[in-house]
Amino acid sequence: MTEIPEARPSPGSSADKATATASPVERHVNAEQAAELLASGKKIVVLDVRTPSEFAQGHLRGAVNVDYRGTAFVDELKKLDRSASYLVHCRSGRRSTAAFAQMLDLGFTSLYHMDGGMIAWQAAGQKVVK
């Protein structure tokens, strides 16, 4: 069992700027930690920011697909519950890193980023659904 890192404010985030005692909002996890988090029973929304065609090729069970490259991406983020906990990922981590930063700027309060994305998830032997 791997340890899930402690939450910490994102450097330069609004939470970091507001006060040193602000609620933590950022956690980076690897694929194994993400799997443990999802199995823990905590209510986590899996946010897959890949394209719909990538999503159709295989995704995490119960994932919500919001295309980072879509023209309405930010509008779709604004519709989400900012107080919910989210595990954000893409194929390799590049798009989800940018999406993660946008979510912090929009005031989301509980975010996990799966470093390495679906590539790392599948390399760790984790299952996907179609």
90 catalytic per annotation? yes
The candidate with the shortest Cα–Cα distance to 13, out of 106, 114, 115, 112, is 106
Rounded Cα distance, 77 and 113, in Å? 15
Any residues with CB less than 8 A from the CB of 25 and at least 6 apart, and which? 7, 9, 10, 13, 15, 104, 108, 109, 110, 111
Query: Looking at 25, 49, 77, 90, which residue is catalytic?
Result: 90
User: How many residues are given for the chain?
Assistant: 130
Catalytic residues: 90
